């Protein structure tokens, strides 16, 4: 996501991270931009952890973390970028651990609600970014198109060339794309991390 934003020279002054969790994605974006970021999450413990992480970083003045459900969120502005790594599973068996359910299952925020929220808070010329399980590709693509979103960039993520993709990343907007870019990123190649995978994540991880 961040790489493509830079390649496309998209300026991010204000961004919204929906379901921020530990705040990792917000800090990754802050490392590559000068904009201000608001991260929201309904899990109070996740927000406390994210605040600890952000406070200990050099980005603490540009990232604000709020305990909020997306459905109740209000802001005086719209955002240049709205992004989310939402709960992976929807309509599947859940555990007895409520916090794990919130983190891994769409028990409080359906995909429809998420996309409606992204549409509401994305500026007219803004961008959206999603990381989802690959098996939901066709279902969620239809939801995006139904909301007049167009995918500009997509990346499938697989373990090796012998494995099917298990994650998919999309960068989308309301503008019809001039060109469409798609790639498959292999995590491992010949028993080690692939050069593509390392190139994407080395700026954010010390031991990769």
Positions of E strands within 36-180? 36-41, 63-67, 79-84, 122-133, 150-158, 167-173
pLDDT at position 14: 97
Query: Quick check: is 183 in a domain?
Result: yes
- pLDDT interval class at 5 (50, 70, 90): confident
Which residues have a Cβ under 8 Å from the Cβ of 157 and sit 6 or more positions away? 134, 165, 166, 167, 168, 169, 184, 185, 187
pLDDT at position 3: 76
pLDDT at 41 over 80: yes
Environment class of 205 (CB within 10 Å of its CB; exposed 0-12, middle 13-18, buried 19+): exposed
Query: Quick check: is 207 in a domain?
Result: no
As a whole number of angstroms, the distance between CA 68 and CA 70 comes to: 6
As a whole number of angstroms, the distance between CA 72 and CA 80 comes to: 20
pLDDT at position 106: 43
Higher pLDDT, 115 or 207: 115
Query: Quick check: is 163 in a domain?
Result: yes
Query: Quick check: is 146 in a domain?
Result: yes
Number of structural domains in the chain: 1
> pLDDT tens digit string along 124-180?
999 999 999 999 999 999 999 999 999 999 999 999 999 999 999 999 999 999 888
pLDDT at position 208: 67
pLDDT at position 104: 43
Domain range for 64: 2-201
Beta-bridge mates of residue 157: 167, 185
Query: Quick check: is 161 in a domain?
Result: yes
> pLDDT tens digit string along 51-62?
999 999 999 999
pLDDT at position 84: 95
pLDDT at 103 over 50: no
Q: What is the CATH number of the domain that holds 121?
A: 3.40.50.150
Query: Quick check: is 79 in a domain?
Result: yes
> pLDDT tens digit string along 109-119?
899 999 999 99
Higher pLDDT, 150 or 204: 150
Task: Please give the model's pTM, rounded to 2 decimal places.
Answer: 0.87
pLDDT at 203 over 90: no
Averaged pLDDT of the chain = 88
Query: Quick check: is 182 in a domain?
Result: yes
Q: Give the mean model confidence (pLDDT) for residues 84-97.
A: 58
Q: Give the mean model confidence (pLDDT) for residues 26-41.
A: 94
């Amino acid at each position: 996501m961040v790489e493509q934003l830079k390649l496309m020279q998209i300026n991010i002054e204000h961004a919204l991270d929906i379901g921020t969790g530990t705040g990792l994605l917000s800090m990754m974006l802050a490392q590559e931009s000068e904009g201000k970021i608001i991260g929201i999450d309904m899990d109070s413990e996740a927000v406390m952890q994210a605040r600890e992480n952000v406070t200990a970083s050099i980005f603490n003045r540009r990232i604000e973390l709020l305990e909020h459900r997306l459905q109740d969120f209000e802001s005086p502005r719209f955002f240049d970028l709205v992004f989310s790594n939402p709960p992976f599973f929807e309509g599947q068996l859940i555990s007895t651990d409520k916090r794990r359910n919130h983190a891994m299952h769409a028990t409080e925020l359906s995909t429809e609600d998420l996309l409606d929220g992204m549409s509401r808070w994305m500026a007219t010329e803004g961008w959206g970014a999603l990381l989802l399980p690959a098996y939901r590709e066709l279902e969620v693509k239809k939801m995006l198109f139904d909301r007049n979103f167009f995918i500009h960039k997509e990346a499938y993520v697989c373990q090796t060339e012998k494995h099917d993709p298990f994650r998919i990343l999309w960068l989308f907007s309301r503008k019809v794309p001039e060109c469409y870019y798609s790639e498959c990123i292999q995590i491992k190649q010949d028993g080690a991390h692939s050069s593509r995978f390392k190139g994407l994540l080395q700026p954010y991880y010390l031991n990769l």
